[in-house]
């Protein structure tokens, strides 16, 4: 691993490092606060021998003193001196072993000085113990160095410095402990983050998706918390990161196969809760935004969610058609979005796989393909049931979704294998719910200014085409009585060069229309003034008829521009007869005539 790999791991798993560091610091701080303060009192002893008359005797005396220092250090930490000190002070609550554990004696090499330190919970008692211990050692050293015959001692010990009352404890060292806890927590957190990243087998980048599926990634959809409350994106006025990601995916879908682009697309995933239904809904919406006629098929006959997200009726739908209880014209429903229709799941059948694998299901898909530009199918997950694999085999292919940080490599590989087993093509993959920051993040471009938004909204409101005039999925004519000839004659006569106000568009998201699908009529054409009783309110609970197939919608006759309604006869252009030239009877023309 290189440096940028570690930086990527720290950026993606900074929470592990932060939590571990905080726990280590709190542990160090807690240990320091719970530790009883200890005070230390120090004394210094000087060891010497009797000086000789010559230099040689003085040198040997110094060597003897240094050798004695090492031995005296061991005696100072012994239990014998500790017991004598306790007897001198009259301390019965402390044993010789405990006092010996509190005594520390050390000496600097090549010197005759001994530093003695005694620690205790009380600063005064630590001072008294250190001074009494030093005094008793002076006496004990004299007794040990004095010969039996009563001669002078070979070495003597002098207390060079007595202990003073310590003002601050030596333990705990809170600042040092917290600093050590911080360092240990950082190192331990980094180690845990790296270990967690190495053991994590979930999908977190597009390279892993492409390697497993063997196809490209057609879309990377960022996580947007607003989709939990409103799964459907209103693309007419949406410039968020996920809206732009769906627009990019729409472009990629159009270039999957340039010669024969897929039109019946199954959207599925490995397991539930990976965002397949939300992706299917917004994929259909983004295709409808481009001016295409789209039908969204709720083919998840076990756990349908499309009707809930779009607010449509779900009592009758695909299962009703497959059971030969209704026709497509009876159950297709328009949505509040231009160019988008929904085929709900209908009642939940006991045998979804058998219904979806029937020949009638194939006929329904082909019928929808002939009626609409795109057929988006929301299918169940691949691993729990086999419905999605069956649907993909009768469609043009599938878009397989992998959820960032949840779908494992093994699960995604098994889902791809289920499609390959039935020779179902995988058109591409979608990496959904990626974080907006860190590893696998999706880019978000906001190239919109407030004035531009206002201008774009005004243009969209002026150029939007009513839902009843859509070419891709025209709504049925309202059930109203047609105006009679007398009614037409009662209308004011329209001039051939005048234009009457057009019908007001229906309620819905305003959006600019495509030029080749929603062309404005020439200025020289006129429309009749609408009759007051020509349009009536339609009940929302009625199933409108489905759009007719393209062969029935467009006849073989060439397109004729609509003419203005007028009682006057159309004016014809007068013919002007020019005078004829005189002809010479001789059959020859003069030079002037030529």
Coil vs helix vs strand at 84: helix
CA distance 310 to 535: 26
Question: Which helix (H) or strand (E) is 81 found in, with range?
Answer: helix 79-89
pLDDT of residue 536: 34
Query: Which residues are bridge partners to 397 per DSSP?
Result: 265
Coil vs helix vs strand at 547: coil
pLDDT of residue 468: 36
E-only strand ranges, 251-327:
264-269, 294-298
Question: Which helix (H) or strand (E) is 102 found in, with range?
Answer: helix 96-102
CA distance 180 to 323: 72
Query: How many DSSP H helices and E strands does the chain contain?
Result: 21, 12
pLDDT of residue 92: 82
The candidate with the shortest Cα–Cα distance to 120, out of 166, 79, 164, 72, is 166
Query: Which residues are bridge partners to 434 per DSSP?
Result: 222
pLDDT of residue 592: 39
What would the DSSP string read from start to end of 217-229?
EEEEEEP-THHHH
Q: What is the mean pLDDT of each run of 10 residues along the chain (594 residues)?
A: 81 90 95 92 87 62 77 90 91 89 89 91 93 93 83 84 92 92 95 90 90 92 84 79 90 84 93 93 93 94 92 91 92 92 93 92 94 95 94 94 93 94 93 75 44 45 40 38 35 35 37 37 37 36 48 44 40 42 43 39
Greatest CA separation for the chain: 185
Number of residues written out for the chain: 594
- The CA–CA distances, whole Å, from 346 to 317, 352, 386, 395 equal 4, 12, 19, 20
Bond into 172 cis (ω within 30): yes
- In a 13 Å sphere around the CA of 105, the CA atoms on its Cβ side amount to 24
CA distance 563 to 523: 12
| Residue 469 DSSP one-character state | G
The CB density around residue 406, as the number of other CB atoms within 10 Å, is 17
Structural tokens at position 540: 């929302």
Using CA atoms of 244, 247, 248, 254 in order, give the dihedral in degrees to the nearest 10.
180
Contact 387, 276 (CB under 8 A): no
Contact 133, 76 (CB under 8 A): yes
Structural tokens at position 440: 């696998």
CA distance 71 to 140: 13
pLDDT of residue 59: 66
* Strand order through the sheet with 39-49: 103-107, 113-120, 39-49, 155-161
pLDDT of residue 437: 66
pLDDT of residue 556: 44
Structural tokens at position 583: 């002809």
């Amino acid at each position: 691993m290189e440096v940028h790999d570690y930086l990527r791991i720290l950026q993606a798993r900074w929470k592990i490092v932060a939590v571990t560091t905080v726990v280590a610091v709190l542990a160090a701080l807690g240990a320091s606060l719970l530790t009883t303060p200890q005070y230390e009192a120090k004394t210094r002893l000087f060891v010497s021998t009797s000086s000789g008359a010559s230099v040689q005797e003085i040198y040997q005396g110094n060597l003897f003193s240094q050798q004695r220092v090492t031995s005296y250090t061991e005696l100072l930490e012994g239990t014998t001196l500790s017991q004598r000190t306790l007897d001198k002070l009259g301390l019965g609550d402390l044993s010789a072993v405990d006092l010996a554990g509190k005594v520390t004696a050390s000496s600097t090499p090549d010197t005759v000085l001994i530093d003695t330190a005694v620690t205790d919970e009380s600063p005064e008692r630590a001072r008294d113990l250190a001074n009494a211990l030093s005094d008793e050692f002076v006496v004990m050293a004299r007794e040990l160095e004095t010969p039996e015959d009563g001669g002078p001692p070979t070495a003597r010990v002098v207390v060079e410095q007595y202990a003073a009352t310590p003002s601050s404890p030596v333990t705990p060292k809170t600042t040092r402990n917290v600093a050590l806890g911080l360092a240990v927590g950082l190192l331990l957190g980094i180690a845990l983050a790296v270990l967690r990243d190495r053991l994590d087998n979930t999908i977190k980048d597009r390279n892993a998706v492409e390697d497993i599926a063997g196809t490209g990634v057609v879309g990377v959809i960022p996580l947007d918390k607003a989709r939990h409350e409103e799964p459907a994106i209103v693309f007419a006025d949406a410039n968020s990161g996920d809206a732009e990601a769906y627009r990019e995916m729409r472009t990629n879908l159009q270039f999957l196969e340039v010669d024969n682009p897929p039109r019946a697309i199954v959207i599925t995933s490995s397991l539930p809760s990976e965002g397949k239904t939300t992706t299917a809904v917004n994929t259909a919406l983004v295709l409808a935004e481009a001016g295409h006629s789209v039908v969204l098929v709720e083919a998840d006959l076990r756990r349908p969610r499309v009707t809930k997200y779009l607010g449509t009726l779900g009592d009758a739908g695909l299962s009703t058609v497959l059971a030969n209880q209704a026709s497509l014209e009876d159950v297709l429903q328009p949505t509040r979005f231009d160019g988008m229709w929904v085929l709900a799941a209908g009642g939940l059948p006991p045998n979804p796989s058998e219904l979806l694998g029937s020949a009638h299901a194939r006929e329904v898909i082909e019928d929808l393909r002939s009626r609409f530009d795109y057929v988006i199918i929301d299918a169940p997950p691949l691993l729990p049931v086999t419905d999605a694999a069956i649907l993909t085999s009768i469609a043009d292919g599938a878009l397989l979704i992998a959820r960032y940080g949840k779908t494992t490599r093994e699960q995604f590989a098994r889902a791809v294998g289920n499609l390959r087993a039935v020779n179902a093509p995988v058109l591409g993959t979608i990496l959904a719910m990626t974080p907006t920051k860190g590893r696998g993040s999706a880019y978000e471009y906001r190239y919109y200014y407030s004035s531009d938004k206002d201008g774009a909204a005004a243009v969209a409101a002026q150029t939007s085409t009513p839902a009843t005039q859509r070419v891709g999925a025209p709504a049925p004519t309202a059930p109203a009585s047609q105006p009679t000839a007398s009614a037409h004659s009662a209308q004011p006569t329209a001039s051939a060069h005048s234009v009457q106000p057009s019908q007001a568009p229906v309620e819905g998201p305003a959006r600019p229309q495509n030029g080749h699908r929603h062309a404005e009529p020439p200025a020289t054409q006129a429309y009749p003034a609408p009759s007051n009783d020509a349009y009536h309110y339609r009940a929302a609970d009625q199933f409108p008829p489905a759009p007719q197939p393209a062969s029935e919608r467009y006849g073989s006759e060439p397109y004729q521009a609509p003419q203005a309604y007028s009682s006057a006869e159309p004016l014809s252009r007068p013919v002007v007869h020019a005078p004829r030239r005189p002809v010479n009877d001789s059959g020859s023309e003069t030079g002037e005539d030529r």
